[in-house]
Chains A and B, each alone.
Chain A
Amino acid sequence: MGSVMSTAYEVLNVSTTANDAEIKQAYLQQVKDNPPDRDQEKFQLIHGAYSAIKDHKSRVSYALFTPPAVNFDTVIEHMLQTEHAVNFSAEFINQLLQASIDDTTLLNATATSKK
């Protein structure tokens, strides 16, 4: 499974229906938050995203020639999305600790000890 790619819209944090002005505003904000002297690579990503969708023609072009960013990783991400935070209660931690014990771990723990 490959890594999840961000679309130009995701990079600039705008909706796919955003207009020229909204996109420009989002771009300027992103540049302000990520100036080129801090992270050149991130800045290039932001600038590339803006160039790709800055006006109507570029957005149509982007929609036509950008391969779909949806891969199976993205599918899994959607499938396993939850609204809850992970529950690290003592009960679960205790269960996890119990479940962590197996013969191999116990053997390995002393196998490298001094004889």
Chain B
Amino acid sequence: MKKKQTTTPAAPNSLELQAQTQLNAGKYKEAIGLYKKLLKISDHNEWHKKLAYCYVQRATALAAQGMFKEALVLWENHRQHTHAPYAAYDQYIIWLILSKNKARIQENIQQLSAQQLDKEYPALAAVLGLLILTEHPEFALDLPQDSMFIAHLQQVKMALQAYQDNNREKLDEALKQLPYRSAFKDFRTVLNALITLPESIDQARVLLAKIPDNSAYSNFAHLLLVSTFDGAELAKNLVKLSPTQRHIISHMKGFNKTQLEFLAHLTRQYEHLSDKVKFNMAIQYQSLCGTEFAKNYCQQLLVNYSAGHKIFKKNFGAVDEFENNRLHALACERQGNSYDAEHYWRLCIKELIGQHLEENNLKIALILRHLSKREEPAEKTELLIESLQYDAEDRDIYLQILQHYQQAEATKDYKLWLSKALKKFPQDIDILIQAVREATRNKTYKKASQYATKILKIDPLNTFAKQTLFASHLAHAYRLMREKSYPLVAKEIALAEALNIGKFYVKQTQLMRALLCFAHEDKEQGLQLISDALANLYTDPVNRHFHASMAALSAGLPVATILRVLPPAKDYLLTESEFTQFIQLLKQFINEADNSQIHKALEKVKAPLKKALTRQDFTESTLLHLCKLLEKLEHFELLRHCAKTAFAKWQKPIWMYYRVYADNNGKPEDCTKIELLSLEHYHEQAMLAKDFQTGIMLEKLIDRYYQVHPQKGMNFFDDLFGINDDDDDNEEGDKLDILFGHLSDEVVMKLDETVESLSKKTSIEQVAIELIQSVGEESVMLAIMQEPDLFSALMVVKAADKLGINIDVSLEDVLECYGVGKNIGSSSFPFPF
């Protein structure tokens, strides 16, 4: 039970403050009560104004909720506290119309002046115009007949009549009479859109889009716009309309009974369009879209709606298994599920094979090639080879297989497939080029020339074939010169010249003629000619010396005599372009000459080459190119120099590959444990970076190491303490024994496991860098390189640190034992990694 409160009348000041607060907060109901109280205390003009304002606000809010009668009462209350012109009078009239109070509507409309209708209430005028044209033509009689509104209404009526009579001229005339400032301006725009529709739907849509959302004609414009749509866009809009609106537009579109049923069905289900609903609708209304179309669509849906199989079979017969699997495979691919996609593609192949149809072979081959796209090189090639069983006519597949075997350096397989490709496509230039390259690699120049000649028969302008023939003529000329068959040398030079393939080649034949002159005619003149020819070919002395050495060695001429007439090369610093030219020359000789000759020629220029590598800032690709050639040539001295320079700049897997390969003179089986760990670490990095080519190269080195050093127990400690080592007098083993010999077998086992796992995650470089940063001792890296077991010892301490085992050996003990960082103070420092 509420306790009766004893209230004392609030002071006007306090009440006014409360009323203002409620008004400011938009709480008009409360504010109305308070202002009414205030007015009982005193008839203050300001409070009347504020009360009137609150009434209008509250009325508007109620009208927005559809409470028009309540809104009308409040608006009329407001009128008692203020004077004309009244706020929201136009809205008041609309509320009257919406509350269908005919007498009051008429009374108020009659009170509207021409000024109010034409100037003060344009929105009300637009609404009245719309209502006069549709539900309430009688309103026109109560409006001021001398107003512009009534004049414009007559023009609109004329326009509508003209539209009905299909009289375009009269319609245009009537619309022209309507000025921009008219209650019917939006209606005029809609009518213009209607006229435009037969000529241009797009232009009509632009006009309809001009009708603002708050226009009395916005709904009408939207309905007309919807009627211009088709298909899914039409359906999407129709389902949102009222049944009457939908009915009218459907009939304007000319939909038949079944289409109307489909539309009604779609409207009911539109918000819940599951695969099941779509499946059933496609079957139910298949007469509208055709049985074949409905069947294809439903079969597609079966991928996600397997429960539909039975209904599908009943309506369309058995499901096409191949198509079913194909759709499943494509769906899996869309979801990124390549594993299941492959399963379904394999089922497709099985189905196609089972049908025993010749035409299926191409499909099988294409599916296998499709599957090959996401495989790694070896598996990809297997699938491509398998695909050739079903479609052997695809030369691109042969080229892809050849490319794979070439990259994988699988010489035997490459030769086998090159021979198959040549047999299958004897006139294919790309395959003949492969044959030329292979013959050149094998230094079977006669064969290379034969293939090149064949290419030139098919394509007389083929530069590659001409270059090959040129090289072949020159190689033959050198051999003839060695045999002192000088007249034949001249003949070969003439044949090379006849190929006419550019200035650089002309210069090479000039050198050849100079060598011939030196060997057969006049030594002094020959030397001068050689010097001139080389000066024509190269701007720098290094390339001249190298080419001269190679030429002399190939022709069986005295190298020293020829080099003496050339400018000295020893102290020359090559530029990047000259260095690149050297690499090109080296590549050419590797293809054409014996490796032993190239080694001899390189001896003459290795000093300036090393100088250039050390001092110049060559690009990574330049160095990589050189390393590939030096690896092929097995010139480990220069390769070592190049790889070391490159690794200092770019700590990438490929450079670690070249470093270890060169440091061990191409015998990775001789590499140290640390180098092995580095190879394994960088192999992992290459695979993570998807650099499979480098990954395979590193893997080959690692495999070669393990072929010679079987893993046995592969326990870190076994190696560390030489358990598997026959050499018991190993001094390094002694150091490790001094440091860790006191540990129990149990501790050793635990440390062993941890060191193994840490070694996979940590490279030597990392350890060294962290140690250098921590102890400030630059010699750590060098010490590790010199004494590989130092790294092992550091890893043991790290493992103990990680496991929290006290092994009584600190980082300082290890460094001290190996004589590193003797300048480090006695204070302990934290393990850096």
Contact = CB atoms under 8 A, between A and B. Distances in A.
A111 B252 CA distance: 33
Nearest to A101: B134
A112 B327 CA distance: 55
Interface string A52-90: 000001001100110110101111111111111011101
Contacts of B254: 82-84, 86-87
Nearest to B89: A115
Contacts of A84: 253-254
Interface in B367-397: 367, 370, 394
A88 B327 CA distance: 44
B347 to A, nearest CB: 14
Contacts of B56: 115
Contact of A72 (B249, B278, B363): B278
B251 A92 contact: yes
Contact of B231 (A4, A60, A103, A106): A4
Nearest to A92: B252
A109 B214 contact: yes
A21 interface: no
Nearest to B288: A79
Interface in B133-179: 133-135, 160, 163-164
A100 B236 CA distance: 18
A18 interface: no
Contact of A76 (B215, B266, B300): B266
Nearest to A102: B219
B535 interface: no
Contact of A65 (B215, B224, B230, B330): B330
B674 to A, nearest CB: 50
Contacts of B648: none
A55 to B, nearest CB: 11
A76 B120 CA distance: 49
Given A99-B223, A100-B220, A113-B121, A75 B289 contact: yes
Given A82-B253, A109-B126, A101 B121 contact: no
B87 A86 contact: no
Given A75-B278, A82-B253, A113-B123, A61 B248 contact: no
B63 A107 contact: yes
A105 B312 CA distance: 47
Contacts of B235: 76, 80
A110 B127 contact: yes
B216 A86 contact: no
A95 interface: yes
B252 A105 contact: no
Interface string B176-207: 00000000000000000010011000000000
B133 to A, nearest CB: 7
A93 B362 contact: no
A73 B327 CA distance: 19
A16 B252 CA distance: 34
A28 B446 CA distance: 46
A8 B60 CA distance: 58
B251 A68 contact: no
Interface stretch (B2-10, B105-113, B290-298, B625-633): B290-298
A108 B88 CA distance: 13
B224 A98 contact: no
A96 interface: yes
Interface in B63-104: 63-64, 66, 87-88, 90-91, 94, 97-98
A114 B124 CA distance: 11
Interface residues of A, number: 49
A78 B289 contact: yes
A103 B97 CA distance: 10
Contact of A115 (B88, B217, B252, B256): B88
B218 A105 contact: yes
B366 A98 contact: no
Contacts of B219: 100-102, 105
B94 A106 contact: yes
B262 interface: yes
B282 interface: yes
For A65, A79, A84, A102, the residue with the greatest tally of chain B CB atoms inside 10 Å of its CB is: A79
Contacts of B612: none
B426 to A, nearest CB: 22
B285 interface: yes
Contacts of B213: 108
A115 B134 contact: no
A63 B370 CA distance: 13
B573 to A, nearest CB: 49
Nearest to B98: A103
Nearest to A115: B87
Contacts of B252: 86-88, 92, 96
A10 to B, nearest CB: 14
A54 B412 CA distance: 37
B330 to A, nearest CB: 5
For B66, B94, B251, the residue with the greatest tally of chain A CB atoms inside 10 Å of its CB is: B94
Interface in A1-41: 1, 4
A61 B368 CA distance: 11
B232 A113 contact: no
B255 interface: yes
A109 B297 contact: no
Nearest to B285: A79
A78 B273 CA distance: 17
A61 B394 CA distance: 14
B259 A79 contact: yes
A101 B123 CA distance: 15
B122 interface: yes
Nearest to A90: B164
Given A100-B219, A110-B90, A73 B124 contact: no
B296 A68 contact: yes
For A99, A105, A110, A115, the residue with the greatest tally of chain B CB atoms inside 10 Å of its CB is: A110
Contacts of A105: 216, 218-219
A81 B219 CA distance: 25
B66 A80 contact: no
Nearest to A73: B232
Contact of B232 (A1, A102, A110): A1
A86 B248 contact: no
Contacts of A93: 163, 194
A114 B123 CA distance: 9
Given A64-B367, A113-B90, A78 B97 contact: no
Nearest to A57: B362
B97 A106 contact: yes
A96 B131 CA distance: 13
A113 to B, nearest CB: 4
B22 interface: no
B71 to A, nearest CB: 10
A61 B387 CA distance: 14
B338 interface: no
21 contacts: A57-B394, A65-B330, A65-B366, A65-B370, A70-B293, A72-B232, A72-B273, A73-B231, A73-B232, A78-B293, A81-B288, A84-B253, A90-B160, A97-B134, A100-B217, A100-B245, A106-B97, A109-B127, A110-B91, A112-B123, A113-B123
7 closest cross-chain pairs (CB), A and B: A77-B231, A78-B289, A84-B254, A73-B232, A113-B123, A100-B219, A90-B164
Interface of A: 1, 4, 57, 60-61, 64-65, 67-68, 70, 72-84, 86-88, 90, 92-93, 95-103, 105-115
Interface of B: 56, 60, 63-64, 66, 87-88, 90-91, 94, 97-98, 120-124, 126-127, 130-131, 133-135, 160, 163-164, 194, 197-198, 213-220, 222-224, 227-228, 230-232, 234-236, 242, 244-245, 248-249, 251-256, 259, 262-263, 266, 273, 278, 281-282, 285, 288-290, 293, 296-297, 300, 326-327, 330, 334, 362-363, 366-367, 370, 394
Given A93-B163, A105-B218, A111-B64, 18 more contacts: A64-B363, A64-B366, A77-B231, A77-B232, A80-B230, A80-B259, A82-B253, A84-B254, A86-B252, A96-B223, A96-B245, A97-B220, A99-B244, A99-B248, A101-B131, A105-B216, A108-B214, A111-B60
